[in-house]
Structure 1
Amino acid sequence: MAAALDAGADMVGLMFFPKSPRHVSLSQACRLADMARGRAEIVAVTVNMDLDGLSRINELVKPDTFQFHGEEAPEALAAAKVMQGTKVMKAISISDRSDLEQAHYYAVVADRLLFDAKPPKGSELPGGNGVSYDWTILKDLDLKKPFMLSGGLDPENVAEAIRLSGVSEVDVSSGVEREKGVKDSGLIRAFLAAAKGVKVPG
């Protein structure tokens, strides 16, 4: 967390999904959120969590945004947005252009969308698998809402991904880890330097 903040990350994610190697407890999340507050947007990442669970996170951690990374319907995002009083982001798993259709339904209620690669067959994780897709399918996509590029990004390819997709916001997890679930401060700094060094036409 400290490396990301010091390198200028605009958002930091806290993972609330027990099957993930990046899962944090509520007490850990509170400490990390206090470290980040006022320096970066705090994003609570959840997977098919019920409203009681969201409320508990909101009460204790006080995130700026909830990211929904499961099979949540647009109506679930709308309900959470009203009940929690936070911004909401929806992660959408894609592999080709046809998968982008669902984005228009979520864009009605979400404050931001995130396009991640579809997980490999048999994976229990909806994201953070280090899998990529054809970034060019996001080129010139107009949703009237901000959206982010995720999936298989690392310090070596993030600049190319930004240029090919035209997307100025990127998300990374496994691409800055020295082993699964363990972040590497050097890779974090390299990733942010590469991402922030790209000029996106607009």
Structure 2
Amino acid sequence: MSAAIPSARVKICGLSTPEALDTALTAGADWIGLVHFPRSPRHVDFEKASRLSAQARGRVERVVLLVDPDDALVRAAVESMDPDLIQLHGRESPDRVAAIRALAGRPVMKAIGVATPTDLEAIPAYAAVADRILLDAKPPPGAALPGGNGQRFDWAILADAVLPAGTMLSGGLDAGNVAEALNRTGLGAVDVSSGVESAPGLKDPDKIAAFVAAVRAAAG
């Protein structure tokens, strides 16, 4: 793998307050993620998401995270947030991903949970219909959340994998390990949520700044 990632990009996910969002923008994040999933401690309703999206418009790419949404929820998300990208973090099939992309008229990123090499076998089917793939740690059995659990998977699984351009890495990342993650996987995009929090759903400004700085340093 390359020792330096010249153009690594950063997504700060699960932002829920104007202050946290401003911190991410000031730090230089490339994407901001707004979670619409009521079981998540990072959930924002569409009224709040609309305000946060407007705050970020023109400054960063705005992502809405949805979990197994029906058509009505997709339409509501697009209408309220006007997102630049829709992140699907549930058990959506490739056909459903394609249908959501067509319905929304927006690019789509599909999250795939990874625990063993066999989990990578799903990538080609999703890469054929999604604009970007996100590899996240597969949640443990019985977990309430499909992501944002602060766990990482074994990056060695990706050593010989042929991954689509733009594949993003997530799962258990923080300022202390993101440089290693970039260097070991060779990927050029990372997504963090719990790794920049002081408590579930509570973003820490210093951790956000440190995470972005660590990515930029690794890419330098």
TM-score bin (small chain): over 0.9
1:164 has 2:184 as partner: yes
Pair 168,30 (structure 1): closer, same or farther in 2 beyond 3 Å: same
Residues 138-147 or 59-68, more deviating: 138-147
Measure the CA separation in 2 of the matches of 1:144 and 1:12. 22
Q: How many percent of aligned residue pairs carry the same amino acid?
A: 50
Match of 2:137 among 101, 113, 117: 117
Measure the CA separation in 2 of the matches of 1:143 and 1:184: 32
Q: Distance in 1 between matches of 2:207 and 2:57?
A: 23
Aligned-residue offset at 1:143: 3.6
User: CA RMSD for the aligned pairs?
Assistant: 1.2
Give the gaps of 5 or more residues in structure 2.
Answer: 1-20
Any conservation in 2 of the 1:10–1:40 contact (CA below 8 Å)? Answer: yes
Residue in 1 aligned with 2:109? 89
Q: Distance in 1 between matches of 2:74 and 2:116?
A: 31
2:169–2:189 Cα contact (<8 Å) kept: yes
Report the counterpart of residue 65 of structure 1 in structure 2: 85
Give aligned pairs, total.
200
- Deviation string 1:62-102 (CA, Å, 9 cap, x unpaired) is 00111000000111111111111100000000012111000
| Cα shift at 1:140 | 5.2
- For residues 163-199 of structure 1, the C-alpha deviation after alignment (integer angstroms, 9 at most, x for no partner) is 1111110000000000111000000000000012113
Give the counterpart of 2:211 among 191, 196, 199. Answer: 191
Q: Tell me if the contact between 1:90 and 1:110 (Cα under 8 Å) persists in the aligned partners.
A: yes
TM-score by length of 2: 0.88
The aligned residue for residue 125 of structure 2 is 105
Structure 1, unaligned runs of 5 or more: none
Cα gap change, 1:144 to 1:133, in 2 (>3 Å): closer
**Equivalent pair of 2:166/2:188 in contact (CA under 8 Å):** no
Equivalences for residues 10-89 of structure 1 within 5 A: 10-89=30-109
Distance 2:126 2:189 in 1: 18
CA distance in 2, matches of 1:136, 1:116: 14
